[in-house]
Structure 1
Amino acid sequence: MSAHERLDGTVVAVTGAARGVGLATARRLAAAGAAVALGDLDADAVKAAAESIAARTGAMTVGIPLDVTNRPWFAAFLDDAEKALGPLDVLVNNAGVMWAGPFAEEPDAVAERQFGVNVFGVLHGMKLVLPRMRERGCGHVITIASAAGRIAPPGQACYAATKHAVYGYCAAVREELCGTGVHLSVVLPGVVDTSFAAGPATGAASRRLTPEQVAEAVLGVALRPRFEVWVPGRNGIVVRLAALLPQRAQDALYRALVPNQLRTDPLAGLAYESSVFCDSEFGDADEIR
């Protein structure tokens, strides 16, 4: 890796970082020279993850328990991260949860939990960290959204709604930050091969991504900020081209390419959904994509 491809001296915080994409992202950014604060609801797992990354890369890391739905807790997480590592340069909003199935069968508590983690978790982080960055005249918030933030797979109505909300929120806030030196980015991956996607299909034209592929995209946008990053990039081309088609042709294209989650095995994601949504405290609510 050349000097231009490194993040030496950069302080990063990653939410939902005990496993999956969050863990892969924390590892990749640490390997590029960043000091990384990992946050996750699973306190033991996130501390172990931070120690493992430090041992592997030699980077400064800290693992801090975090519930992104709790704004005071999120504020304390940011304060603790900055006390341990220094002023935060990059926040990676990664924590998220998903439920798949017919819209009318989704329990209200599950829908509310998805909005709590996927939307308000992002809003809390941005509202807390962006004023600090704007005051310094620099900084970058990278939000791991989803391809579902621009399309709407059947069987993921609420999840898609949360990701559409995140995309729109980031687009609007980005305009407010114009000229401040602070950047906003959204990363839009397809289906990633983690426990988060144990049930969902991938669609006729795509394969499951690895967490490392998404982490590489995060590193790329951290080095060269831009607003919208598709993983893989061809998905963005398809979406832009589809927008030019008549509705009937657009519908046919999406039905051919976008996975219909109502056709998947309802038992395939049962372990994930049970751990996240069925516990009285919703289990590891920051389980990630």
Structure 2
Amino acid sequence: MTSMHEFVEEWLPGYDGTQFYTRTYAATFPKAVVLFMHGFAEHVGRYEHAHVQYPARHITLFAFDVRGYGRTALDTEHKSRDMAYSKTSWDAQLRDIEFFGHHLAQTYPGTPLYLMGHSAGGAAVLTYFTRSSAPPSPEGTRLFKAVIASSPCITLTHPKPRIVRWAGSKLALLRPWQLIPADVGIENITRNQASRDAYAKDPLIKKTGSLRALDDMLTGGEKLLTDDYAKWPKDLPLLIVHGTADQVTSCDASKQFFEKVPALDKKISLYEGGYHELVQEPDGIPDRLVNECISWIETHLPAKSPSAPGTPAEAKL
């Protein structure tokens, strides 16, 4: 375990022993804990400017480089021997959410836990509660008090032709870890030129993806809109945030999902003119986004809390 800046980084074994790079932005006495899942082909380091704001509002945020991406896949010193870039699947990622959810529940006993994801991570956190087959387990879904999905990848703004998707799906069965081009375009990420430049130079960001990872992501997102939305637990609060000018993931799909999902407590917040990565946008949008997410969590804290919540337990998974 090492401390860097305003977070603690650790390498932690997942449910199958895979080593994950993790960051904890720890509040001294947290009133809530957030489990965060980033998007396709990126890593948690890109969110540092946003995540450091959570402890100041008495919220601990735990983030990890998703299976197949970031340092979890590319750190030559610490990554698991059989891990490779984009070697991942939807089912494994859902198991990872459940595993780290239990890890946080044991580390911060009695502190309410919230689940948040961006883009592909946003679709994954929605899928986590709407799959009828394992994973996850019913016990795992009850870990979380509420959910935030940022620019979720339900469908792409400019989807590929059906024949291309069909061919990719078939090839994924034969060569699941075959990498193919998957460039979303730097110009579509954000209007912030400094963020674009950083994205272009980032050695942990690749412009490819495996056939299995891409097929799982796109198919899983589509199922959210066609069928799985109906399985959403009615008593689980949901916040969706999306930029109206997103050229990567469809803002219209988010609006359709929001209308369909049977949550009794739900909100969609649209950022007019916002691009895909609201957390990287100019004009004060990142701070506005962070404030909205934290404020929403604060309004969804349990009415009664233990007398001394949030103290990390000695034993960890």
What TM-score, normalized by structure 2, do the two folds share?
A: 0.37
What TM-score, normalized by structure 1, do the two folds share?
A: 0.40
Whose strand fraction is larger, Structure 1's or Structure 2's? 2
Whose helix fraction is larger, Structure 1's or Structure 2's? 1
